[in-house]
Amino acid sequence: MFKIKRSYSFIPLFSCLFIFLSINATCKTLDEKEVQRGMDLWQVPALAVSVVTDKDITFKKGFGKTALKNGKAVDQHTQFGIMSTTKAMVAAGVLILVDKEKLKLDDLVIKYIPELHFNDPSMTQQITIRDLLAHRTGMPSTDIWPFFQKTPLDVQIQKLSTVESSVPVRSRFIYQNTMYELAGEIIKRVSGKRWDDFLKQSLWLPLGMKETYGSRGAIPAKQPLVSPYLLINKKIKKTGWNFDDDETNAAGSVWSSIHDMSIWAQFLLNDGKNVNGQEIISSEGVSEMFTPQMIVADSDFYPTTKLTKPAWTTYGLGWFQQDFQGRKIDFHTGSLSGLIAIIGLDRVNKKAMVVLGNQDHAELRHALLWHVMDEQTDNSSTDWNQSVFDLYQKQIAAGEVRQDKRNKARKKSKKRSLPLKQYAGRYSHHSYGELEIVLTKNKLKVKSNRLTFDLPHWHFDTFEMTSKKYDIQALLNFNLSTDAKINSLQFWGLEFTKIE
């Protein structure tokens, strides 16, 4: 995503009870009053939570309302964005095609997308479908394409040849959403159906997931869905959508309910079989999904490793993985503007949990995950909610220090080199498209294909990107040529050349 600043609020949250499962694993349930208390303190308008085993659903409930104004009560059928937890479903779609012998994980991507070329020709002859699903292509993030520029996938494929890799193939985990878009395109070209249509017919409906959709616009009008919210300066504000209503994106555009996500989690615990015992994905395919494919460095993993203290961290096919209390935990978060999700699995003890919410980066999800996965007794177990709170409070404080440092570096002089109208114009980057600087009522704005930000003056030829809809703090700097004319602008480490 394109956000620079994230706002967090954390609280000690849930007390717990114990229920004992038939497999003698300990599964902590949740206290509804404490969940509601936590939501009030976190200012999360809507939340849905489930805890499941391979045989039972031990907790499944919706909390709050879909919107602060005129919202509907959340229940197990309320629609939430599941964002990047979509990735495991896309991986499952690929594995279904593997079972059908339509493709192999180690096939080259260019076998199915022959027009694809990477900047380094040797990469084009190396990168496989497995590499796409394991985030190990070595390519840097290209999130500016979908989230800022609304770049169609066919154009992304064309532009990938202009983007230099960060590291050699399979040498480092780098989270890369465009690679999952490519995986979705492969599903389409092999099956003849768009990736979400294929998942609906081959995965969701066979599982009984009738409330899962590839885009927000596909949700029936009668089904309530949550609105997205940000927490800025301790105030909750409604934010904008990252994707248009009918926009599908295999990296994270799926919407679902806690009812359906419970079915999905239970299916994964049952090695690819639905409730009727029908095999949807072979046990070998499910095993492949959860087999570690790439070691992940601490810096590329979640901050909560400071609390869970794993000996190792890896990534499977659509799953982050780590050891915890002697067991492997597979999990993944989902995050878009105003929406959060997490799904976690303890496949050894056959239990899983899901959290869906609508307050931007409310890390309540991590507290719940590790609360459910923690099998220590009450006398020795960690207070995960307080620990997560403390962890992220430190991160917030560090961010505030950096922000204060930036503000102190701002020069007192408000002088610009040129009149505002001379900053206006179109600017182009060879990989990331065009931006337009417009002057309206003596104020500058920066426009991409998807978003518009205000551009108040900061100092000299530097301006600050601001928005009432999105939580962002970024500086944009204009560069002058020797003849005192604007020739380019820079932001987020990218240089856009003025073209008119």
Rounded distance between C-alpha atoms, residue 233 and residue 235, angstroms? 5
Structure confidence at residue 28 (pLDDT): 56
Q: Are 262 and 60 in contact (CB under 8 A)?
A: yes
pLDDT digits (tens, 9 = 90+) for 91-137: 999 999 999 999 999 999 999 999 999 999 999 999 999 999 999 99
Question: Does one domain contain both 395 and 434?
Answer: no
Rounded distance between C-alpha atoms, residue 463 and residue 383, angstroms? 44
Q: Which amino acid is at 302?
A: Y
Q: Are 359 and 338 in contact (CB under 8 A)?
A: yes
pLDDT digits (tens, 9 = 90+) for 111-120: 999 999 999 9
What strands lie across the sheet with 46-53, from one edge to the other?
57-64, 46-53, 351-357, 339-346, 327-336, 320-324, 313-315, 294-295
Question: Does one domain contain both 360 and 428?
Answer: no
**Phi, psi dihedral angles at 426 (to 5 degrees):** -105, 140
Q: Nearest Cα to 334, choosing from 105, 124, 85? A: 85
User: If phi over 0 gives left and psi between -120 and 50 gives alpha, with beta otherwise, what is residue 233?
Assistant: left
Residue 76's domain spans which residues? 16-101+179-399
Rounded distance between C-alpha atoms, residue 231 and residue 223, angstroms? 26
Indicate whether 359 belongs to any domain.
Answer: yes
Please count the structural domains in the chain.
Answer: 2
Question: Does one domain contain both 255 and 366?
Answer: yes
Rounded distance between C-alpha atoms, residue 131 and residue 183, angstroms? 10
The CATH number assigned to the domain holding 436 equals 2.40.128.600
Q: Which residues pair with 355 in a beta bridge?
A: 49, 342
pLDDT, average across residues 378-387: 77
Q: Nearest Cα to 350, choosing from 276, 289, 265, 287? A: 265
Indicate whether 365 belongs to any domain.
Answer: yes
Which letter does DSSP use for residue 73 in this model? B
Rounded distance between C-alpha atoms, residue 199 and residue 181, angstroms? 14
Q: Which of 343, 366, 399 is the last residue of a domain?
A: 399
pLDDT digits (tens, 9 = 90+) for 174-208: 999 999 999 999 999 999 999 999 999 999 999 99
Structure confidence at residue 34 (pLDDT): 63
Rounded distance between C-alpha atoms, residue 419 and residue 92, angstroms? 55
Question: Does one domain contain both 431 and 386?
Answer: no
Question: Does one domain contain both 297 and 210?
Answer: yes
pLDDT, average across residues 324-340: 97
pLDDT at 1 over 70: no
Q: Are 49 and 58 in contact (CB under 8 A)?
A: no
Structure confidence at residue 301 (pLDDT): 98
Q: Provide the 3-class DSSP secondary structure of residue 401.
A: helix
**Residue 343 CA to chain centroid, in angstroms?**
12
Does the pTM exceed 0.85?
A: yes
pLDDT at 47 over 50: yes
Question: Does one domain contain both 384 and 425?
Answer: no
In sign, the C-alpha dihedral spanning 205, 209, 214, 216 is: positive
Indicate whether 185 belongs to any domain.
Answer: yes
Indicate whether 120 belongs to any domain.
Answer: no
pLDDT, average across residues 69-78: 97
Indicate whether 129 belongs to any domain.
Answer: no
Indicate whether 338 belongs to any domain.
Answer: yes
Question: Does one domain contain both 193 and 306?
Answer: yes
pLDDT at 12 over 50: no
Question: Does one domain contain both 391 and 435?
Answer: no
The CATH number assigned to the domain holding 64 equals 3.40.710.10
Reported as a pLDDT band with limits 50, 70 and 90, residue 412 is confident
Rounded distance between C-alpha atoms, residue 436 and residue 250, angstroms? 28
Indicate whether 44 belongs to any domain.
Answer: yes
Question: Does one domain contain both 327 and 462?
Answer: no
Question: Does one domain contain both 307 and 218?
Answer: yes
Structure confidence at residue 193 (pLDDT): 98
475-479, long-range: CB within 8 Å, 24+ apart, which pairs? 475/406, 476/446, 478/423
Rounded distance between C-alpha atoms, residue 146 and residue 152, angstroms? 8
Indicate whether 147 belongs to any domain.
Answer: no
More confident residue, 379 or 433: 433
Q: Which of 399, 428, 444 is the last residue of a domain?
A: 399
CA–CA distances in Å: residue 22 to residues 152, 303, 308, 319: 49, 34, 27, 27
Q: Nearest Cα to 353, choosing from 334, 372, 366? A: 372
pLDDT digits (tens, 9 = 90+) for 278-302: 999 999 999 999 999 999 999 999 9
481 by Cβ neighbours in 10 Å (0-12 / 13-18 / 19+) ranks as: exposed
Rounded distance between C-alpha atoms, residue 254 and residue 225, angstroms? 13
Question: Does one domain contain both 223 and 257?
Answer: yes
CA–CA distances in Å: residue 101 to residues 81, 97, 221, 245, 274: 32, 6, 38, 34, 21
Question: Does one domain contain both 94 and 189?
Answer: yes
pLDDT digits (tens, 9 = 90+) for 478-491: 999 999 999 999 99
Mean pLDDT, the chain, whole residue set: 91
